[in-house]
Amino acid sequence: MILDERGKKYLISGIEEFQSDLGIITEEQIANAKIGDEIKSHLNHSFKIMKPNVNDFIDLMERKCSILIQKDIGTVLAHTGLGSGDKVVDAGTGAGAISLNFGNIVGDKGQVYSYEIREDFAEIASRNIKNFGIKNIKIKNQDIKEGIDEKDVDLIFLDLPRPFEIFEEAYDSLKLGGWLAVYSPYIDQAEISYRITKKLGFYNIKIIETLQRNLEVRPQGVRPQTRMVGHSGYLLFARKL
């Protein structure tokens, strides 16, 4: 990743020159640069070479659909206690935002299986994962409603229409103590999900909505920003015990 003097970040491929309004950096300069180096464009502006973390990468990666936002990803990771070595099933992948976070957390000893019904989206997500340089995420261009192949799963995360159609399958695939987490943009879907998980014998069922309000620091004082993200989605959590 390359960072300009304004703090604006860009992904670089490493195989072609980089151009911006602050000048050109040649392919050769990029090839010879190391993480932490500072290089000058032909207009004498400074650029820093930095390793992107998962959030930088998601901000800049290729996508053709909406992606989960940090407040919701964070809630899933914290609520389920996901950790190193865990096995995760995720659907649909979209561009791979939460899959990348799962892969980042479970590490080399863990594994993420991410189902995506659309071939074009599965290809984009596979490219994103390869470019991030992580090897523990397998994208499956499959309809998850045709079956979950994995067993003894620590976390099943669903972000797709009518998720409750596979809750029974999800229950069978989870290990004892495993979590089902479901993201729903509409409250109706969250409610149906609640009732069905209860009927299926899940425990610790909870629906959470996370609101994030940023503060701004002005010369006159500190106050919440006038605008905030009004709504993203509801998260349902249910545990197999």
Ligand X SMILES: C[S@@+](CC[C@H](N)C(=O)[O-])C[C@H]1O[C@@H](n2cnc3c(N)ncnc32)[C@H](O)[C@@H]1O
Site membership for ligand X, residue 48 (CB under 6 A): no
- For residues 233 and 44, give the distance between their C-alpha atoms in angstroms, rounded to a whole number: 45
**Do strands 174-184 and 87-91 pair parallel, antiparallel, or not at all (unpaired)?**
unpaired
Three-state secondary structure of 40-63: ECCCCCEEEECCCCHHHHHHHCCC
Question: Binding residue for ligand X (CB under 6 A) from 77, 82, 89, 98?
Answer: 98
Q: Which stretch binds ligand X (CB under 6 A): 30-38, 75-83, 111-119, 224-232?
A: 111-119
Residue 116 makes contact with ligand X by CB under 6 A: yes
Q: Which is nearer to ligand X, 27 or 143 (CB)?
A: 143
91 is a contact residue toward ligand X (CB under 6 A): yes
Amino acid 43 reads: L
Q: Measure the CA–CA gap between 80 and 83, rounded to whole angstroms.
A: 9
Residue from the set 67, 105, 200, 207 that interacts with ligand X by CB under 6 A: 67
Residue type, 145: K
Work out which of 33, 82, 144, 180 binds ligand X, going by CB under 6 A.
144
69 binds ligand X (CB under 6 A): no
Distance in Å, CB of 21 to ligand X, minimum: 30
Q: Is 72 left (phi over 0), alpha (psi -120 to 50) or beta?
A: alpha
Footprint on this chain of ligand X (rule: CB under 6 A): 65-68, 91-92, 94-95, 97-98, 115-118, 121, 143-145, 159-160
